[in-house]
Amino acid sequence: MTDKNLLKIGVFGVFLGCLISFSACGSDSSSSAEDGFFSSASQGDDSAASNDGKEGGSSGSTTASSGSNSGTKQETKTETVSSKEELLPASKKVNGTCGTTTGKIGKGEIATWKFYRNEGSIIEQIMAPFKWSFTGGKTSELQGNGLDEVNVRYESAGTATATLMVDGNEVKCDPLQVQGIPITIKSCGPTDPKMTSIKAGQTISWTVEAESEAKITGYSWSSDFGTVSGNGTSATLAATSDMHKKSVTATVSVTNDDKTTEVYTCEGVTVLDPEAVDLVLTIGDMNGDSKYSEPNRTSLPDEMFIPGGTPIVIQVPTTAKSGCIIMCNPRVGSEYNSMKVTWDGTELSSFAYLDPNTSGCAPGKKYSVESNVTALCLVNP
């Protein structure tokens, strides 16, 4: 019997097996990343296959345990070797995306590259020829019919890429970052730790603290909210009115001379537009009117209160008298001693009592306010 006839019999056997046990023949892009496909290339012995949750062919393998330079616990993996069988003809029916299961590994470790199908059927994928090409890995090429998942070892740090030719369609995989000597980002937040909120028109400033046994070579900043200025340990962003009540964040990418890159999202700063009023204060006597006293004020409408932990813009009613006084109390009496209110950047503890000499309280005036607990603020009648 010829080799081609043997190949046809083998393909028919795979097809028949899929009809009998359909769930064992792969998954589409909506399936779990742990689901495996039949592959004509080998991932190693049975114990390694069980670690990956995968059933595969067994045409020979090279056994090698992955390292632990990245500091993360990894299951034992084996490097994939190409099948020596003849590749089936491409039909261009199968297509999708590809990338590694982790996105980042340590130098000397093994990365798993996976294909995620979004075109074609499971049966068509099993019969499709796969040709993988890699940069930076110990292996530069792998191929096999239905070879949807492969393991490649990387000895050098840096950015590694992969391209997959599946069923005659070229797919560019998401890149892999191979880490060298680690970078530890200890913190990244507002340069002034007390500045958790800021007014539109002002400038947000972040500072990052990072360390590494290798020389840190650069800081790259970005933000989804606008253009960030800075290429060192600090960066700034102009706060605008369209950021009102949003927690504005920045992302910093830190690199060292061993080609390690760490990306970190800095703590957010809430931006308030002074012209966008969230709450107009009520005119009332905090001490003389029983409905504002404890425990009656707990039953007042929610819209009268400053929400805890949420910076907002409040306004003194235009009907308030000149030289007004503003008083604030927590909604729940037990929070009286722990209440802290930040009023235009000035923190007031226990209770907030603002007189015209210090606050400039006036009809129609607006303030940026944040309370750590839900609070009721009234303007004296």
User: Cα separation of 124 and 167, whole Å?
Assistant: 9
List, in sequence order, the alpha helices (H) in the chain: 3-20, 46-52, 122-127, 356-359
Write out pLDDT tens, residues 181-228.
Answer: 999 999 999 999 888 889 999 999 999 999 999 999 999 999 999 999
Going from the C-alpha of 2 to that of each of 5, 7, 9, the distances in angstroms are: 5, 9, 11
Query: In terms of DSSP bridges, do strands 279-280 and 203-212 run parallel, antiparallel, or are they unpaired?
Result: unpaired
Which tops the pLDDT comparison, 357 or 75?
75
- pTM metric for this prediction: 0.64
Within 13 Å, how many C-alpha atoms sit on residue 85's CB side?
27
**Domain 183-272 CATH class label:** mainly beta
Has residue 123 got a pLDDT over 50?
A: yes
CATH superfamily ID and name for 26-179: Immunoglobulins (2.60.40.10)
Q: Mean per-residue pLDDT for 8-13?
A: 43
Q: Is 334 strand, coil or helix?
A: helix
Q: Is 163 exposed, middle or buried (0-12, 13-18, 19+ CB in 10 A)?
A: middle
Predicted confidence at residue 39, as pLDDT, reads 45
pLDDT band for position 288 (cuts 50, 70, 90): confident
Which tops the pLDDT comparison, 153 or 19?
153
Has residue 248 got a pLDDT over 90?
A: yes
Write out pLDDT tens, residues 307-342.
Answer: 999 999 999 999 998 878 888 889 998 888 888 888
